Chains A and B, each alone.
Chain A
Amino acid sequence: MIDHLSLDVRKGEILGLVGASGGGKSVLMRTIIGLIPKRRGHIEVMGVDIDKSRDRDIHVAAMWGILFQQGALFSSLTALQNVQFPLRENLVLSESLMNEIAAAKLEMVGLTLEDGDKFPSELSGGMTKRVALARALALDPAIVFLDEPTSGLDPIAAGDFDDLIRTLHETLGLTVFMVTHDLASLNTVCDRVAALADGKIVAIGSMADLLRSDHPWVTAYFHGKRSLMLQPETS
């Protein structure tokens, strides 16, 4: 599905990846984080070759945080315990310190301590994504992978989530790799956008660069009816 693809994410940037449904965006992300085996090629995250690092390698686990599309919170643990989980597994910390750090992460993503006691089944869609983001950030990773962070959220919640990503990017110096369909978040949050079509990256650059691209799929994507809001001056 993905063939001869080369993509660099620069340190400290927010890169958005767009592509047709079923075009391999999620496959690409899951390959990068090692959930899908690749036939050939080379993947390096923060200077570490993924194939050479061992499963339990704390460097990899602590280096990245992953936000799955449906959140993938552990359903048997409360929200707070979910955020604590990476801390508990990778570090030796006292229970109270772990509680405090997890609470801090929950506050960072805009949740209260009361929300921390809820189980994933009791959380709304937006809250689930926030808890999942807090868990992804638990170990202060250098890079976070977000799979459709704003899908399934109403425009207000999606806008808030965009702001949150932007703020955390600035305060924590995060590098963000984001798979998305949301034109608004591409426009407001991403520093660079990469377009995936036919298994290759067909265009990469700032939003303005992509709007100028003449690849047929990219033109269809960024100049369709729904993207009029991106170029108010031309319409």
Chain B
Amino acid sequence: MTDVRELDTLGAWLLEKMSRRALEAGHPATVVGVADRYTGLIEDVRQINRRKPASRAVQNPILERLEAIGRSTFSAAEDVSVFLQMLGALGSAGLGVMRRPRSLRFKSLVYHLDEVGWQAIPIIALVTFLIGAIIAQQGIFHFRKFGAESFVVDLVGILVLREIGVLIVAIMVAGRSGSAYTAELGSMKMREEIDALSTMGLDPVEVLILPPRIIALVLALPILAFIGSMAALFGGGVVAWFYGGMSPAIYIARLHEAVSVTHFEVGMIKAPFMALVIGIVACSEGLRVKGSAESLGKQTTISVVKSIFLVIVLDGAFAVFFASIGM
């Protein structure tokens, strides 16, 4: 090794591995002539990888699967309790605000109203316009076979006002604002801002969650749902005019006959409840963020998936309810 001028850890390890293999084969080998400055490195490398890492116990795959199912069952039960806890905390914070209306954080409420309401209008109007147009186009295309094109107005009107309008808007708000809430609260949690707030004697639910965020959402979603429904009806009308050859005046007249205020009410009543569900899920998932960036991403994903799921479940529950009371 006398001519070796440079030796790094990798080289030293390969050398050591070679001599270990030689030793195992019964021919002890010695490395000679290593430059003085590398003897320390050679000595160190001689000590490494001597101990086998403790092998992890191999689990029975069936048991592992069962354990995972058990764990997720428990976590589902925990999810329900987290949701109810947040609902309770919101209730008590709401009572606090009602008792002291001056403690309502008006400034941040307006800020969040702008964020989740005003700034969402263009994209929501665009998407619902397209959805309305697509429903009308499909309706005209298929109803034409029966010569029942004019019934497309009933289809668009009832479907949009009762179900699609509010549902699409709620799903978009869950993706747009729910995820933002989770990420905001989660990063505050990570930076200990929420801890700092509670050590100052303030309730994070009262400062960060109820007045600014949840109330903003509950106010904004019905307005957005209304705008979205109108945009969808407009989209349907445009398609009926250009694709179905139905003049706007006839479209509006038929719409008057087809839909009643009840349909509109059924749609709009759902909006604030959906907003509450989205807000609770988004905020409680945000508070469950742990210290890592990965957990922030995971909780944000969970928040969006869970709130969209719950919005659809809630819509189904409302459909059953309204059917049974005859609305």
Contact = CB atoms under 8 A, between A and B. Distances in A.
A205 to B, nearest CB: 29
Contacts of A55: 198, 201-203
Contacts of B200: 61, 85-86, 89-90
Nearest to B184: A76
B201 A72 contact: no
Interface stretch (A63-71, A176-184, A223-231): A63-71
A34 B197 CA distance: 12
A33 interface: yes
Interface string B158-201: 00000000000000000000000000000110011101111111
A90 to B, nearest CB: 7
A75 interface: yes
A164 to B, nearest CB: 20
Contact of A34 (B187, B192, B193, B199): B199
A40 interface: no
Contacts of A68: 192, 195-196
B182 to A, nearest CB: 16
A66 B191 contact: no
B203 A56 contact: yes
Interface in A147-192: none
B188 A56 contact: no
B93 to A, nearest CB: 11
A70 B192 contact: yes
Contacts of A89: 200-202
A60 B201 contact: yes
Q: DSSP class of A's interface residues: helix, strand, loop or mixed? A: loop
Interface string B197-219: 11111110000000000000000
A72 B192 contact: yes
Given A72-B191, A75-B191, A58 B201 contact: yes
A35 B193 contact: no
Nearest to B202: A89
Nearest to A147: B192
A8 interface: no
Contacts of B191: 70, 72, 75
B201 A61 contact: yes
Contacts of B192: 68-70, 72
The size bracket of the interface on A is 20 to 34
B193 A74 contact: yes
Interface in A32-63: 33-35, 55-58, 60-62
A72 B200 CA distance: 12
A73 interface: yes
B181 to A, nearest CB: 14
B199 A33 contact: yes
A64 B192 CA distance: 17
A62 B203 CA distance: 15
A38 B306 CA distance: 32
Contacts of B199: 33-35, 61, 64, 66
Interface in A83-137: 85-86, 89-90
A90 B201 contact: yes
B195 A57 contact: no
B161 to A, nearest CB: 38
A41 to B, nearest CB: 19
A56 B201 contact: yes
Contacts of B196: 66, 68, 72-74
A46 to B, nearest CB: 14
Contact of B188 (A33, A64, A69, A75): A75
Contacts of A34: 198-199
Contacts of A57: 201
B85 to A, nearest CB: 15
Given A35-B198, A55-B198, A72 B203 contact: no
A68 B198 CA distance: 13
B193 A56 contact: no
A55 B89 CA distance: 13
Interface of B: 187-188, 191-193, 195-203
Given A56-B201, A64-B199, A68-B192, 4 more contacts: A33-B199, A61-B199, A89-B202, A90-B200
Interface of A: 30, 33-35, 55-58, 60-62, 64, 66, 68-70, 72-75, 85-86, 89-90
Leading 10 A-B pairs by shortest Cβ distance: A61-B201, A72-B192, A72-B196, A68-B192, A66-B199, A61-B200, A33-B199, A72-B193, A56-B201, A35-B195
21 contacts: A33-B199, A34-B198, A35-B195, A35-B198, A55-B202, A57-B201, A61-B199, A61-B200, A61-B202, A62-B201, A66-B196, A68-B196, A69-B192, A70-B191, A72-B195, A74-B188, A75-B187, A75-B193, A86-B200, A89-B201, A90-B201
